[in-house]
Amino acid sequence: MDFSYTESDEMVREAAREFVKKYVLPKRDKISYGNRIPDEIIKAAADAGFIGFNISQEYGGAGGSISQMSIIIEELAKGDVSMALPVYVLLVNGWPFMLQKYGSKEAKEEILPNIVKGRTFFGIGSTEPSGGSDVMSEKSRAVKNGEKWLASGEKVYISGVRESLELPGGGGFLTLLRTGDESLGSKAFTTFAFMIKDVHGKLNDKVSTTLFNNIAREGLSTGGFAFNDVEIDDKYRVGDVGKGFHIIMEGFNVARIYVAAACNGAATEALNMGIEHLKTRNLFGQPLGKQEGLQFELAELYGKLESSKLLTQRAAWLMDKVYFSNEKVPLSEQNKYVSLAKMTAPPMAHELITKVMVWHGALAYTKDTPLGAAQGGVMSYYIGAEGGINIMKLIIARELLGKEFLSYKSQ
């Protein structure tokens, strides 16, 4: 594996850094505490090609690689350490990528160009009130009725509900619905592009939405939506009937890489703030960084951060081989390295940010620094979004030992 970045990669990084400097840093505090991501930042991100970066040029995207998108996400997270903007951007890249691969021609032509323009949101809708990790127990259902499907159910803890309602081109979610009975196991599920507001700005009046009050990452909404006998045209079915579980799992393998990259970016910015504080904060007549105990902590944190970055880079490199080099990489290898990245980055980032907050003392317990927003932002990916840490451990163990060693029913 070549750990160097290409000239093209470095151009992408520099473009992302310039974007952060121009658009994100001046409004960091507004994004971090109590405000949605400003419309002008979303438009600027679309104009820069960061939204729909993974979408092919046929639909207006850049056709960029997983590795390059990871670079963009990491740089955005250095600017918005609250994780709102990087998570918004990773969602409207990872999940439209699955729509592009498996969706109908009509749905792709309708939805993807509007995502690329920043008019339409598109994320993931799989978690239900019963929980997100136990996908096989999800109850939301769709029944075929001629050329349409009748869907009923509820999804919760979904990122982007408010954005789907407020953007001019609406929004929706790659949504997992049960289309068969329990005896079919994982083949009982199908994925749909479920639009709660269509690209023409028309709300679905059979869908009700709710918003939650997050403790952090306030710039991007978290909510839910309930639906009863909603008609979904078959053109919005994504992939074959009965293949939805596997499509969702494939999408998570892309999204988890981006989540890890975002956590790495926020942690990098926090560590840089910590280093500056150790150099400039004087205590007992000398810089705080003169204390060996803090030097040891700094070294350990830096090692954990670099290890996490390398795992993320390895996972992105592996998935680029799958999607852009058409190489056959065993699914077990894909699952293993993606899960290693997702298992490592969020807890690493949370630990690092927390210790940097301790270095800062009382200042870190105020909104005069973005560290509190960063700690809360990465926590959303520590406790479960895009797969909980313990689920990542189970996936890794499954690939090392074999499915027969798992203690729960596996499909």
Structural domain spans, the chain: 7-116, 122-238, 244-405
Q: What's the CATH fold of domain 122-238?
A: Butyryl-CoA Dehydrogenase, subunit A; domain 2 (2.40.110)
Token readout for 125 is: 């809708």
Beta partners for residue 178, in sequence order = 141, 189
Rounded CA-CA distance 310/321 in Å is 17
Q: Are 191 and 102 in contact (CB under 8 A)?
A: yes
Q: Is the pLDDT of residue 6 over 80?
A: yes
Predicted confidence at residue 410, as pLDDT, reads: 44
Report the distance separating Cα 402 and Cα 96, nearest Å.
32
CATH code of domain 7-116: 1.10.540.10
Mean pLDDT on 399-409: 80
pLDDT bucket at 411, cuts 50 / 70 / 90:
very low
Asked if 217 contacts 84 with a C-beta cutoff of 8 angstroms, the reply is yes
Kindly state the average pLDDT of the residues 31-40.
86
Class of domain 244-405: mainly alpha
pTM over 0.85: yes
The structure tokens 């499907």 sit at 149
Measured between alpha carbons, how far is 113 from 52 in angstroms, rounded to an integer? 9
Task: Report the alpha-carbon distance of residue 341 to residue 66 in Å, rounded.
Answer: 14
- The secondary structure of 116-131, three-state, reads HCCCCEEEEECCECCE
Task: Concatenate the DSSP letters of all residues of 197-234 into one string.
Answer: E-TTS-B-TTEEEEE---SS-TTS-EEEEEEEEEEEEG
% of the chain beyond a pLDDT of 90: 88
pLDDT classification of 1: cutoffs 50, 70, 90: low
SS3 129: coil
pLDDT by residue (tens digit) across 41-98?
Answer: 999 999 999 999 999 999 999 999 999 999 999 999 999 999 999 999 999 999 999 9
pLDDT tens column, 273-297:
999 999 999 999 999 999 999 999 9
State pLDDT tens for residues 240-259. Answer: 999 999 999 999 999 999 99
For residue 214, is pLDDT > 80? yes
